[in-house]
A and B are shown apart, each in its own frame.
Chain A
Amino acid sequence: MDVMSAVPLVEQLSREMGISTATALFDGPAPRAVDPVLAPMFRRGGLPRGEIVTLTGGQSLSCALAAIAVATQEQKWCAGIGLGEPAVSSIADLGVDLDHFVNLVTPAEDWLRVASILIESFDILVIDPGFLPSAGERARLLAKVRERKISLISLTSMPGSTEQIEITDTQWSGTEHGHGRLRSCLVQARSQTGVHRFLLPGPDGTPAEAPAPSSSEGVFERPVIRSVS
């Protein structure tokens, strides 16, 4: 094929769709940066834009908040829908910039309407919908998400999502049967990139790397008390 014949096509692509390079055509917009501990869970190392990610299981709200933290620090606006009353102290602990986070307290049945209004100007939505949209509504939501290139994190599983992260196991440590307090939680998450283990929250409230397996065995085992005669 003549190389020259591709030139009008390239021009057309860059003009009409804002696609200037071949990678942009294949990959879509670059993902948003996330905490390095969480990055391996995502297929492209960050929060995808123009797609729906589902995050389910224990500690999923913490995980979602930790995933949006870097973006809010970069002045991206994030809204939460249907999250109940989040604790501001924990949002701040997870690194979210409070100046760029908004919580919506709207009737549960209106979440789709609220989301469709927020999509116009927000960059990230974290949604815990009480119930699933119909197929038609879902298609429209997906189209809007794709068009506005926003990142949508759903805390309940939703058909049409491109990445699914499921937290399969949570192990809290530090309580020691009445002699300590909660310190960290070892989380095991399964996503398209495999199974990941990390601490969420870590000892300082933010995500942290999991301790090496050998030592983690010791951490989670109860001390055995022997009677001394």
Chain B
Amino acid sequence: MRTGTTSSDPAGGGSVFADGGTSDRRTLVLTVPDWSAVAAATEHDLSPGTPVAVLSGGKVMAANAPARAAGIALGNNKRAVGYRCPEAHVVAWDEEADNRHFSAGVGALEELVARFTLLSPGTLAIPLDSLKHGYDDEPTAVEALISALVSVTGWEFFPGIADTVFAAVLAAGQARRVEPGQTTEFLAAQPISTLEYAGAGATELIDTFTQLGLRTLGDLADIDARDVNSRFGALGKRAHDLATGTKWTPLNDHVREERLNVELGLDTPTTRSDTLGFLTRQLAADLLTTVRRRGLVCTQITIELIAVSGQSSKRTWRIEDMNENTIADRLRWQAEGWLAGAARKGPAAPQLGSTPQFRSAPDEPGPDPEDFSEEGIIALGLVAAELTTPIGATKSLFDENTGQVTHTLERLQGLFGPDSVLVPGLQGGWDPAETNLWTPWQQAASPVRSPGAPWPGALHAPRPTTVERLPVDVLAAGGRPVGARPAGLESAPYAIRFPTGTAEAVIDYSGSWPVESGWWDPTKAIYRTRLQVVTDSGQALLLSKENGQWYITGRYR
């Protein structure tokens, strides 16, 4: 264990708790280096001496000390890891395990400190003024906390103390204690890339700052705040605040210090939406009171419904005017949609744990429709999914008439169900059907595939205007079906026969491209051949052959 902070402290006045203006923000941050590797070792029950490398996106994102000693560095790919350390245990990053193990481990802190904040898995922050009463000075407090944590968890913790949370996080990376009042100087010396600790949206900003010749946080802090604000907007302003040490909240705007949620178990299962609505109103009022008491505003709420059979439906809703009634409406829609979907379509209808999309992949078989709707819902849960300060929830004046549009669309959602109003979005994929990301109005979109990743073989413009999936027969001149090989079509397409029995002659056709997706995973692998044809009615179609069957996947309308 390293306690560099405490040992390097001067014996004088610096070791006493700082007082005055900075004391209310002075923060202790404890971080476990390479947390993901530690969590992976715990998850897979490995001995501490085993080298562990955690891969995310094909690159090492965390490696424990034995792995590093073997020469594994961050950013290595899997093959490089194999060369350097064949016995290394390589695991894929599991965000959930990261969170789970960390929150379980730091439970020991609950008896020691009044409040602490989990900043990210592996990192937690403790406001120092909460330690004032229990300990004489900062070093003893840190010693006591770390030894308590280490004896329970066995993890190595790096402590960092500074006047702002952001600076303390950076200090923890170097196991340093920044003297009270020295935070500005400490920050000024840090490279600009440290802003990445501050939030997801910062990566692009860091690139821009680097191109502008701003190498350290000090360079950024030297610029006038107003100039930064007018050039880079709110994000730039926050980065500037962090660099100068004037603002103590991390870059991402939402404050999610603890999980605010309410749950309610029902005495008897129900499928009646009016009953559910009534119960929700009370439940939502409780949640919103808690949120308001903390001086926050809830902008997104996650509603979870649990059926008797144990299945659950979870959706996150963004609501502009969050109150008991709007929450109850959403819960009612969600419940109705879920139960109706289960009754109507059987499998695949209840969107289990995912935001519904237009085209849901064939899911695991759902419950028996009859039984399901009879059993009904046994428990409700509401989680404040996004909390923000009141100013963050205020709409911009420049958003023209969105209030009215919202009202109209919510009315339609009330009449026809939440899935009837869809807003477009794009995600990664090869075909238009895959890049389509239609999300119900006011729900958070959840892309499955990254749009930024390269998609070799993706369709170029012009792309079809509508997507569908209609099995058809593509026939050659002799009436035989057209086969497709990686090298091309076996014969020239002559006609298309639709399921209705009608046929259209093909007057022109494109070259065929093979697209192979998911080849690394046999359960997801799809090999398809894509073809564009123009029929004698002047219509252009996008065809795709999968598993020996041609489909119309898009129409140029």
How far, in whole Å, are A105 and B538 apart by their CA atoms in the complex? 28
Q: Does A15 contact B (CB under 8 A)?
A: no
How far, in whole Å, are A84 and B436 apart by their CA atoms in the complex? 13
The segment from A4-12, A33-41, A43-51, A164-172 found at the interface with B is A164-172
Picked from B359, B463, B537, the residue with its CB within 8 Å of the CB of A90 is B463
The segment from B184-192, B326-334, B362-370, B418-426 found at the interface with A is B418-426
When the two chains form their complex, are residues B511 and A178 in contact, meaning their CB atoms are under 8 A apart?
Answer: yes
When the two chains form their complex, are residues A172 and B540 in contact, meaning their CB atoms are under 8 A apart?
Answer: yes
When the two chains form their complex, are residues A65 and B511 in contact, meaning their CB atoms are under 8 A apart?
Answer: no
Q: Number of B residues whose C-beta is below 8 Å from A?
A: 56
Overall SS of chain B's interface: mixed
CB nearest neighbor in B for A119: B408
Q: Does B58 contact A (CB under 8 A)?
A: no
Q: Does A87 contact B (CB under 8 A)?
A: yes
Within 8 A of B (CB), among A153-196: 169-172, 174-185
When the two chains form their complex, are residues B557 and A61 in contact, meaning their CB atoms are under 8 A apart?
Answer: yes
How far, in whole Å, are A2 and B528 apart by their CA atoms in the complex? 80
Q: What 0/1 pattern do residues 452 to 468 of B give for CB contact below 8 A with A?
A: 00000001111111111
When the two chains form their complex, are residues A85 and B468 in contact, meaning their CB atoms are under 8 A apart?
Answer: yes
When the two chains form their complex, are residues A171 and B432 in contact, meaning their CB atoms are under 8 A apart?
Answer: no
When the two chains form their complex, are residues B488 and A178 in contact, meaning their CB atoms are under 8 A apart?
Answer: yes
When the two chains form their complex, are residues A178 and B492 in contact, meaning their CB atoms are under 8 A apart?
Answer: yes
Known: A121-B407, A175-B534. A88 touches B424 (CB 8 A): yes
When the two chains form their complex, are residues B556 and A59 in contact, meaning their CB atoms are under 8 A apart?
Answer: yes
Known: A60-B557, A182-B462, A185-B556. A89 touches B426 (CB 8 A): yes
When the two chains form their complex, are residues B437 and A84 in contact, meaning their CB atoms are under 8 A apart?
Answer: no
The segment from A19-27, A96-104, A135-143, A209-217 found at the interface with B is A96-104
When the two chains form their complex, are residues B401 and A177 in contact, meaning their CB atoms are under 8 A apart?
Answer: no
Picked from A91, A93, A184, the residue with its CB within 8 Å of the CB of B424 is A91
Q: Does A204 contact B (CB under 8 A)?
A: yes
When the two chains form their complex, are residues A182 and B432 in contact, meaning their CB atoms are under 8 A apart?
Answer: no
Q: What 0/1 pattern do residues 41 to 73 of A give for CB contact below 8 A with B?
A: 000000000000000001111100100000000
When the two chains form their complex, are residues B465 and A90 in contact, meaning their CB atoms are under 8 A apart?
Answer: yes
A85 CB to closest chain B CB, in angstroms? 5
Q: Does B435 contact A (CB under 8 A)?
A: yes
Picked from A60, A88, A179, the residue with its CB within 8 Å of the CB of B435 is A88
Residues in chain A near residue B464, CB distance under 8 A: 87, 90
Residues in chain B near residue A87, CB distance under 8 A: 432-433, 435-436, 463-467, 554
Residues in chain A near residue B461, CB distance under 8 A: 89-90, 93, 201, 204-205
When the two chains form their complex, are residues B421 and A122 in contact, meaning their CB atoms are under 8 A apart?
Answer: no
Residues in chain B near residue A181, CB distance under 8 A: 460, 510-511, 532
How far, in whole Å, are A91 and B424 apart by their CA atoms in the complex? 9
Q: Does A147 contact B (CB under 8 A)?
A: no
Q: Does B338 contact A (CB under 8 A)?
A: no
CB nearest neighbor in A for B426: A88
How far, in whole Å, are A203 and B220 apart by their CA atoms in the complex? 44
When the two chains form their complex, are residues A102 and B508 in contact, meaning their CB atoms are under 8 A apart?
Answer: no
When the two chains form their complex, are residues B556 and A121 in contact, meaning their CB atoms are under 8 A apart?
Answer: no
The segment from B93-101, B300-308, B409-417 found at the interface with A is B409-417
CB nearest neighbor in B for A222: B508
Residues in chain B near residue A29, CB distance under 8 A: none
Q: Does A112 contact B (CB under 8 A)?
A: no
CB nearest neighbor in B for A114: B412
| 15 more CB-based (< 8 A) A-B contacts, given A85-B468, A104-B421 | A88-B432, A88-B437, A90-B432, A92-B426, A93-B463, A98-B424, A102-B409, A103-B422, A103-B424, A106-B412, A172-B508, A175-B532, A175-B533, A178-B492, A183-B462
A-B contact pairs, 18 of them (CB 8 A): A77-B401, A83-B466, A84-B468, A85-B436, A85-B468, A86-B467, A87-B465, A87-B554, A89-B459, A93-B462, A98-B426, A102-B441, A104-B421, A117-B415, A120-B408, A175-B508, A180-B510, A201-B462
- Contacts from A to B (Cβ < 8 Å): 58-62, 65, 75, 77, 83-93, 98, 101-107, 110, 113-114, 117-118, 120-122, 169-172, 174-185, 201, 204-205
